[in-house]
Structure 1
Amino acid sequence: MFDPVIAPSGTLLGLLQRGRGDGTLHALTAPRAEALAALNHCVLHDPRHDWQVENRSLYYARLFLDLNGELDGIEAHLFGPEDALDTDEARTGLALAVLGHLASYGRRDALVLLRRYAATGTNWAWALDELALRDDDAGLRSLAAPVLARFPADAEGEAALAAAVRDAFEPRPWRLWADDPRASIAARVRAALEAGCFDRWERQLRSAGPRPGWSVQAVFEWARQGAERGAALHVPAARCLAAVAGPEDRPRILRAAREGTDAVRCTALRYLADSDDPAALDLIESAVADGSATVVEAAVDAFERMRGAAAVDRARGWARRPGPLGAAAGRVLACRGGTRDRDLVLAALREAVRGEGPDAPTLWTLVDGAGRLGITCAAPVLRHVYRETASSHLRGRAARALAATDPSFATGFAVECLWDCEETTRELAARHAETGDARVVERLRRLAADPAEEAEVQTAVRSRIGPDLPAA
């Protein structure tokens, strides 16, 4: 998939794409047609940069319910000609997940679309997993024949069927079909279940990795050969060194960290950093100064893994440096520095936003550090990251940092966070939002009664429901 195009944060579309609580609040006051158009755009053109970890489906499903939205756009998206041409599950996954939540809320039209797509669509396995959580036994049994018809009754088809059964997230449909009264269906599914179990067992017995009995030189050679094939193996190779290297091997490893080929040098640096070798920090500094881009990246990563006081002290000296080592030093101080390092972490945070924007990967660590260290002066930068980032996870981290640094959080961003797409952000808001706002009281009651809400969020809500906030 191409990176999604995210609209400005001040627009309704931009708010909904980001999954912000203000997106829902603005959509409910906007003209219905405009709100539904923006909502459909988000569902049909997944706005997430990392669709495998960021949440949007429940957020969009709830808004569909609030707007009483029709599903014509989703239907056209799922059953159009492009479904056969673009088989990437990311094209339809969000729409199917939204339908799954709508079905759990009792939308019969969503359930019908899921059944139809499971029978005929390209991304049928995702639809089947959604139905496994929401459909009744009769509905699932009706899909046995069309799903099995996808797999020819030959050796290749049976192997594909066994793989589909093995990789299914939800086993319920397959277990139902294994007991189907139609012998032809039950026999095929039982055979596939058995083949999948055997394949999993067989793969566990296979071992394609290094052996602890190897020598240091053999581990270096394995890492070098991997690099020639395009596989970066320095991380597992460093773990192997930890198993096979002895004190007598240290001079060889130190030499490899200074003079080895890229793969060997990366392996040696990782091993020395993980073992907190006294020479590791000097070798990391040298590697960043004269190494290739691959070596620099590995050296910086190795440095950030170091936990000792020496690494933190060195980070204080490196933090004001330009380049990757200075940025890494800022992150080390954000994770493990003390109150004396607040100015350095704040400077790193400001520089990252100024130089790389509100979606810079380094911000995840720096935002957490600003909250951990209670850097109140960081609140304006954190508010900017909260508003502008396209990552709902980074926004949640910014919200958590604001809760620790911004006295206005409880009456400001915490209120809109009750409608956020991420459950961890809603949980944070449930614990902090000021209940003097009538919207907060109403939202807490709704979350407490919503069966689709996460248990952690409802626990936080219940902690706020007391004499001043009686349950509805």
Structure 2
Amino acid sequence: MSDEDERAYAHADSVEGLLRRGRGLGAVRALQDPRRAAGFVYDGIRRDWRWDGTDDRSLYLARLVQDLGLSPAPVVAQLVADEETCLRACEVLELLALAGSDEAREGLRAYVREGEHWAGVLESVAASWPRGWWEDLGDVARDRIGRETELPWYSEPWTRFGIEVRSRRCVPRPSLAGLGTEELLALLADDGARDDTKSSALRALNGREPAAQLIPLVPSLGTSDGRRPLPPLGRAVERLGAAAVPAARAWARDGRGWLAQLGSEVLAEHPGPDALPGLVEELAGQWAARDWCGPDRTARRLARFGPDAAGAVPHLRRFWLRTPHSYERAAYLQALGAIDPDGLDYAHTESLWDCEETARLLGIVSAPAGPEVLRRIEVLRDDPMESPEVRAAARVRSAAVAGPGPL
């Protein structure tokens, strides 16, 4: 990130900078001064401050609109902008409607009737809203699709409206889920089995407990042209964890490029003690370069060393505080918890307000007992905008309060 980019994000300790980064502290401080924060919230919907497409912001911003008592009207007004801005506003309004905002719901329905990018909005609301909220728009869709818009690619909600779609017919992959693990391994060991059959066997194995018997088969699981691994192999090897390390040393020296790369990746994810100084130096270099994409992998590798990686703690703290790449933030906090957990109570509590689902889940599990934490977890448990995974985790933690022992 250049100095210009750093200024564009605003200082990491300011309300504006915190909100642009999706930090939980930004939401907490915004609630202390809603009037001042309102402009920053609307700006975060109008302009895409995400570092890349993996970062989450819609729920964070929708919750701020609701919690600060802001009007959805400026968000509805953003629907008439370019397509990207329209769809960002749509995602926020969808959530506000789920939370009970009639203005958000009717704003989107009206846009489907008259707006330029109506087809993308209709597909989006159909994926997130109850059917009864959009099914009556079928006449509008049938009228507009022929006059104004190309046939869509996706099936919903179009096929429900009797509208033809352009998507190619999907040929189902063969399912081998009914076979036992030994039978799947035998298929993988069969030199005469087709690539698609072996790929299906690997997908079936990836839904089960890792099988160490897969390790000696890995070198034979390249594509028939010898140029690349079968698509599900990387995930299968990743699930084996440290058990694959001894074999990976030989893979990394293999003349086949795909196998050498796979072996190197395994060894990088499970570094030996001699790798620790280099990893600390790597993280320091990433911080010096303000390299916001990738240090999460370095952090996870350092976490395996526990307290021995204490030299990485200052850099991990800086990344957690300042990264604009919110998707990586939880990895820094998890690494800090493994290396030096002292003093993280506030960070875990703040994570309950974070824009990223992984951070909120970490906060639910790790935030210390106390009234503020309990109240926030109850909010997450009951929030119709929240993801099913977060609501479920919040129910588990809340239930612990009702049972024996503290939260």
When normalised by structure 2's length, the TM-score is: 0.71
In structure 1, the partner of 2:210 is none
In structure 1, the partner of 2:72 is 71
Q: Which amino acid aligns with 1:368?
A: R
Q: Which amino acid aligns with 2:394?
A: V
Q: Which runs of 5+ in 1 are unaligned?
A: 179-188, 205-211, 214-237, 245-272, 282-298, 313-331
In structure 2, the partner of 1:174 is 158
Q: Which amino acid aligns with 1:460?
A: A
In structure 2, the partner of 1:351 is 285
Structure 1 contact 104–134 (Cα < 8 Å) conserved: yes
Q: Which amino acid aligns with 2:109?
A: R
Structure 1 contact 403–409 (Cα < 8 Å) conserved: no
Distance in 2 between residues matched to 1:433 and 1:303, nearest whole Å: 42
Q: Which amino acid aligns with 1:67?
A: L
Looking at both structures, which has the greater relative contact order when contacts are Cα pairs under 8 Å and sequence separation is at least 6? Answer: 2
- CA 1:138/1:372 → structure 2, altered by over 3 Å: closer, same or farther? closer
- CA 1:302/1:138 → structure 2, altered by over 3 Å: closer, same or farther? closer
Distance in 2 between residues matched to 1:277 and 1:418, nearest whole Å: 41
- Name the SS for the 2:226 alignment partner: helix
In structure 2, the partner of 1:200 is 169
1:26 is aligned to 2:29: yes
The one of 452, 458, 470 equivalent to 2:385 is 452
Q: Which runs of 5+ in 2 are unaligned?
A: 174-193, 196-221, 229-247
Matches within 5 A, 1:46-445: 46-51=48-53, 53-79=54-80, 83=81, 86=82, 89-132=83-126, 133-134=128-129, 136-137=131-132, 139-146=134-141, 148-152=143-147, 160-161=150-151, 164=152, 166-168=153-155, 171=156, 173-178=157-162, 189=163, 192-193=164-165, 196=166, 199-201=168-170, 239=223, 241-242=225-226, 276=251, 278=253, 280=255, 305-307=262-264, 312=267, 332=268, 335-354=269-288, 356-359=289-292, 361-374=293-306, 375-408=309-342, 410-436=344-370, 438-445=371-378
Q: Which amino acid aligns with 1:385?
A: F
1:279, CA displacement in angstroms?
6.2
- CA 1:174/1:137 → structure 2, altered by over 3 Å: closer, same or farther? farther
Distance in 2 between residues matched to 1:35 and 1:388, nearest whole Å: 19
Q: Which amino acid aligns with 1:242?
A: G
Distance in 1 between residues matched to 2:12 and 2:349, nearest whole Å: 18
Q: Deviations over 1:383-424 (max 9, x none)?
A: 100111111111121122122123235412101000111111
In structure 1, the partner of 2:38 is 36
Q: Deviations over 1:445-467 (max 9, x none)?
A: 11122233223323433343356
1:242, CA displacement in angstroms?
1.1
- CA 1:72/1:342 → structure 2, altered by over 3 Å: closer, same or farther? same
Q: Which amino acid aligns with 1:353?
A: W
Distance in 2 between residues matched to 1:41 and 1:243, nearest whole Å: 47
Structure 1 contact 118–143 (Cα < 8 Å) conserved: no
RMSD after superposition? 3.5
Over the matched positions of the two proteins, sequence identity in percent amounts to 27
Distance in 1 between residues matched to 2:133 and 2:42, nearest whole Å: 31
- Name the SS for the 1:242 alignment partner: coil
Q: Which structure has the greater CA radius of gyration?
A: 1
1:351, CA displacement in angstroms?
1.7
1:371, CA displacement in angstroms?
1.8
